[in-house]
Amino acid sequence: MSIFERMKQGATEAARKVEQTVEISKLKSQISTREKEIDRLYARTGKAVYDAYSRGDLSRSETEVMDYCEQLSDLHEDIKLIQEKITNIKLEKSCSACGKIVPVNARFCPDCGKKFPEDDEKPQESTVGEIRVLCAVCGTENDIGARYCVECGNELSPAAGDRSKPNDPAGDSIV
Q: What is the pLDDT of residues 28-81, one digit of tens each?
A: 999 999 999 999 999 999 999 999 999 998 888 899 999 999 999 999 999 999
Q: How many C-beta atoms lie closer than 10 Å to residue 96's C-beta?
A: 11
Between CA 53 and CA 66 the distance in angstroms is 16
Could you report the per-residue pLDDT of 81-93, keeping only the tens digit for each? Answer: 998 888 888 888 8
Q: Is 171 exposed, middle or buried (0-12, 13-18, 19+ CB in 10 A)?
A: exposed
The pLDDT tens digits of the residues spanning 130-140 come to: 567 888 888 88
State how far the Cα of 94 lies from the Cα of 80, in Å rounded to an integer: 13
Say what the pLDDT of residue 101 is. Answer: 85
List the chain domain ranges.
3-90, 94-175
**pTM summary value:** 0.54
Q: Which CATH number fits domain 3-90: 1.25.40, 3.40.1350, 3.60.21, 1.10.287?
A: 1.10.287
172 pLDDT above the threshold of 80:
no
- What beta strand segments (E) does 20-137 contain? 92-94, 101-103, 132-134
Q: How many CB atoms lie within 10 A of CB 61?
A: 19
pLDDT digits (tens, 9 = 90+) for 121-169: 444 444 444 567 888 888 888 877 788 888 899 998 764 444 443 344 4
CA atoms within 13 A on the CB side of 145: 5
In sequence order, which residues have a C-beta less than 8 Å from that of residue 112 and are 6 or more positions away? 95, 97, 98, 100, 148
**1-39 pLDDT tens trace:** 678 877 877 788 788 888 888 999 999 999 999 999 999
Contact 174, 168 (CB under 8 A): yes
Distances (CA, A) of 83 to 66, 69, 77, 105: 26, 21, 10, 18
**Does 174 have pLDDT greater than 80?**
no
For the chain, helix, strand, coil in percent to 5 are 55, 10, 35
